[in-house]
Amino acid sequence: MSSMSLRRAALALAVIASLAACDRGAPADKAPRSAAAPAPVAPAVGIDLAGMDKAVQPGDDFYAYANGSWQADAEIPADRASIGVFYTVFEKAEKRLAELVQGLAKSDPAPGSEARKIADYYAAYMDEAAIEADGLAPLQPKLDSVEAITDGASLSRYLGGTLRADVDPMNATNYYTENLFGLFVGQGLEDPSRNMGYLLQGGLGMPDREYYLSADKDMAANRAAYKAYIAALLKQAGTEDAEAKANAVFELETKIAQAQASVVDTQNVHKANNPWPTADLDKSAPGIDWAAYLDAAGLSSQQTLVAWQPEAIRKLSALVASQPLQTWKDYLRFHALNHSASLLPKAYADLRFGFYGTQLQGTTQQRDRWKRAIAATDGALGDAIGQLYVKQYFPASSKAKVEAMVGNIVNAFRDGIDQLAWMTPETKKLAKAKAETMLVSVGYPDTWRDYSSLEVKADDPLGNELRAEETEYRHQRAKLDQAPDRKEWWMTPQTVNAVNLPLQNAMNFPAAILEAPFFDPNADDAANYGAIGAVIGHEVSHGFDNLGAEFDADGRLHNWWTPADAEHFKTAADKLVAQYDAYEPLPGLHINGRQTLGENIADVSGLQAAYNAYHASLGGKPAPVIDGLTGDERFFLAYAQTWRTKMRDAALRAQVIGNEHTPGPWRALTVRNIDAWYDTFKVQDGAKLYLKPEDRVKIW
C-alpha cells in the first residue's frame, strides 16, 4: 500500500470490511442533502424488500434470504472488483467530493490557501497532456538516486531516505511499496505516556507473502503475470536486459516473502513488543548500515525503536548485505517506477492497471480519470476537504442521533458484562472501566490538520504526490516522544468506514458512513440499529476482541484477566475459529478462522450489543409491524443486507488469503450465534445454519 493510504489505523485497526456496493436506500445520483435538518416524515421500513428471496428458508441461508434477488441481479461495474452497500455509500461520498473539489477548481481560490492547494492538486492530476509530454522526467531524480548507489552504506541511506509512515502494523506486507520497512508512530505498548516508533516489515509488490509461496494454481498464474509486469515496466523505461533483471527482482521479492511474518503472527501483539535500542541495531539486525539508514530517515535521535516483526526485520536486514547490489538497484528502480506509474504517461499507467486491476482484482476497465484524481487529492489533503464536506453534507441532527445510538450501545455492552456468568467480579470491574472510558468521536475531529508545509504545484502531479507522502511522514515522525493525543483521528470525515483504536481506547465514526442505508434519520429504529448500530457495536467490541482485550482502559498492553477468565475466552474464541474455518468461499479455499478472529468476535459481540440496545430504545413498548415485518425481523434483515457483497473471484481470493475480514456473505451468518435470531425466524434443529444453544459462541 502507498504510505498515503489510511485504510486501517492505529495499532489494531479494526475497519468495517471490504468495500463493495449496492443500494437499498436513496439512489447514488440523488442531489446532495443540505446540512439543514430534514423535515419529519413517517418512519420508513429501511429494508430492501425487493432484494430478498423469500423462497429461501432463513435457517438454511440467511444471506440468500435477505439478499438473494439482489445477488442474482447485481452487476459489478467494469472498473470495480466488487459491488455492495459499501460501494453505494462510497459512490455518494465520491460524487459529493467531486462537487466540492471541482467547484474549488472553478472558484480561483487565493494563492497559498488550502482551497488553492486542493484545486491545484486536482488540476495537476487531470492534466494528461502535460503528463505525456513530461515522460519520465518528473521521476528522473529518484531514478538517478538509485543509479548512484555504489555500496552497502549508500544502499542503506537510500532505503532510510524512502522510509515512510505506515498506519497499519496489522497489515503484514505494506502493499505495493518500494519501502523495505514502514514506520508506525503510536503510544508505547507498556508506556502510554509517550509515542514511540514501530518498525514494520515491507518490500513486496504483490499483496501478501502467500502470493509468492502458495502452491495454488491461481497464485502460480499471478506470479507469472507479475514477472511479466516487472519486465514490461522496466522495458518501457528503457532498461537494458529487462527480462533477466525482472527475474532477479522477482527472486529477491520471493526471498523477502520467505522472510516475512504471516498475517496471523503479525496480529499477535505479544510478538510485536520488542523495544530495540537503536545503538544496538547493528547487532540486533545486522546487514544494514543502521547509522546511515537512521540518519537518512531522520531518526538518529531516537533511542529506541520497537520491532513489530523482529525475525522478519532481522532476515530482511540480512538480505540487504547478502544479495547482489545490482539486484537491489534493479529492485529499487522497478519499485520507483511501479509506485509512480499512475502519474507517468499512459503506457506506464496501463501496465500497472493491467496487473493490479485486471490480473489481481479481475477489473476490466480503469476508473475514470476524475475519480482517480478525486481519490488522490483526498488522500493528500483529506482534512482540508473534510472541513468542507461536513459543513455541506453532515447535519447536526444526524450527529446527535448517532451519538445517542452510540451511548445506548455502549451502555448495552457494559450491562452485558454484568450478565456474564463466567466472568469473575474482578475482571468485570476492569472491563466495565474500559467500556466507560472509551472515547467515541462521531462525524469529524475536534481539530484539523494543517497543510501549510505541503507545497502543491498545478503543473507537477508526481511531485505533489511524493511531497504529500513526505509531508505525512514528517507529520507522523514529529509525534515521536510526544504525549499521545487520544482525540486524534485516523480517518477523514469523508471516509466510508469506522475504526476502533485500542491504544487510544477510542473510536472514530466518520460522517460519510453515516448515510443510508447504514444510517437513515427517517428510517425505523430497527433498521438503523441493525445496520449502523451493528457497525457501532462492532467497533465497541473491538476493544474486547482477541487483540483489544489485551489492552486496558489506558491503552496499555496489560494482562487484566484472571487465568480462569482468560481460559474461558480462549475456549469461546477457538469455537469461533472452527465455525469460520468451515466456510468455503471458493472451491478448496476456506476462510482462515484464526486470521479473521478479531473481526468475527467483534461481529458477534457487536450484533448482540446492538440488538440489546435496540430493545432498550423501545422503552418497554412493542415495536411496530411495518410492511409485514416485526421489529426483530427488520433488525436482522438490515444487518444481513449491510453485508450484501458480490465480488470477482480474484478479489474474493485476495481477501480470503490476505485480509483479516471475512467476506460479506459469510459475515451475514453471524446471526447463527444470536439466540433471538432463532426465535425471530423460527429456525429449528435440522436447518443448515442451526447451532445447538451450547454451540453458539457468546464471548461478551
Q: Is residue 509 part of a domain?
A: no
- CA atoms in the 13 A half-sphere facing the CB of 251: 11
Considering the domain architecture, whether residues 336 and 221 belong to the same structural domain is answered as yes
Considering the domain architecture, whether residues 311 and 436 belong to the same structural domain is answered as no
pLDDT in tens, 194-206: 999 999 999 999 9
Buried b (16+ CB within 10 A) or exposed e, 403-438: eebbebbbbbbbebbeebeebeeebbebbbebbeeb
Q: Is residue 29 part of a domain?
A: no
Q: Rounded to whole angstroms, how far apart are CA atoms 76 and 74?
A: 7
Return the CATH number at 563: 3.40.390.10
Considering the domain architecture, whether residues 328 and 438 belong to the same structural domain is answered as no
Nearest to 383 by CA among 271, 499, 510: 510
Q: Is residue 144 part of a domain?
A: yes
Q: Is residue 492 part of a domain?
A: no
- Can you say how many angstroms the Cα of residue 375 is from the centroid of all Cα atoms in its chain? 15
Question: Domain end: 309, 335, 366, which one?
Answer: 366
Question: Domain end: 332, 366, 400, which one?
Answer: 366
Domain count, the chain: 2
Q: Point out the residues of the chain with pLDDT beneath 50.
A: 1-42, 169-176
- 193: phi then psi, degrees, rounded to nearest 5: -85, -15
Whether residue 77 is preceded by a cis peptide bond, meaning omega within 30 degrees of 0, is: no
Considering the domain architecture, whether residues 89 and 138 belong to the same structural domain is answered as no
Q: Is residue 665 part of a domain?
A: yes
By the 8 A CB rule, do 638 and 531 touch? yes
Q: ∠145-151-156 over CA atoms, to 5°?
A: 65
By the 8 A CB rule, do 657 and 214 touch? yes
- pLDDT confidence of residue 21: 28
Q: Which residues contact 665 (CB under 8 A, 6 or more apart)?
A: 63, 67, 585, 643, 644, 645
- 365: phi then psi, degrees, rounded to nearest 5: -140, 135
- CA atoms in the 13 A half-sphere facing the CB of 189: 24
Considering the domain architecture, whether residues 83 and 163 belong to the same structural domain is answered as no
Q: Is residue 330 part of a domain?
A: yes
Considering the domain architecture, whether residues 79 and 158 belong to the same structural domain is answered as no
pLDDT in tens, 49-98: 999 999 999 999 999 999 999 999 999 999 999 999 999 999 999 999 99
Considering the domain architecture, whether residues 89 and 169 belong to the same structural domain is answered as no
Question: Domain end: 336, 366, 396, which one?
Answer: 366
Considering the domain architecture, whether residues 358 and 244 belong to the same structural domain is answered as yes
- Model-level pTM greater than 0.85? yes
Q: Rounded to whole angstroms, how far apart are CA atoms 25 and 12?
A: 31
Q: Rounded to whole angstroms, how far apart are CA atoms 624 and 688?
A: 30
Considering the domain architecture, whether residues 273 and 419 belong to the same structural domain is answered as no
Q: Rounded to whole angstroms, how far apart are CA atoms 516 and 536?
A: 15
Q: How far is CA 97 from CA 490, 531, 533, in A?
A: 19, 24, 26
Return the CATH number at 292: 1.10.1380.10
Nearest to 103 by CA among 389, 309, 296: 389
Averaged pLDDT score across all residues of the chain:
90
Q: Is residue 472 part of a domain?
A: no
Q: Rounded to whole angstroms, how far apart are CA atoms 575 and 620?
A: 34
Considering the domain architecture, whether residues 159 and 91 belong to the same structural domain is answered as no
DSSP string, 266-326: HT-HHHH--EEEGGGHHHHSBTB-HHHHHHHHT-TT-SEEEESSHHHHHHHHHHHHHS-HH
SS (H, E, C) 316-371: HHHHHHHCCHHHHHHHHHHHHHHHHHHHCCHHHHHHHHHHHHHHHHCCCCCCCHHH
Considering the domain architecture, whether residues 171 and 258 belong to the same structural domain is answered as yes
Structural domain including 427 reads 53-97+408-443+525-695
Considering the domain architecture, whether residues 134 and 84 belong to the same structural domain is answered as no
Buried b (16+ CB within 10 A) or exposed e, 355-386: bbbebbbbbeebbeeebbbbebbbbbbbbbbb
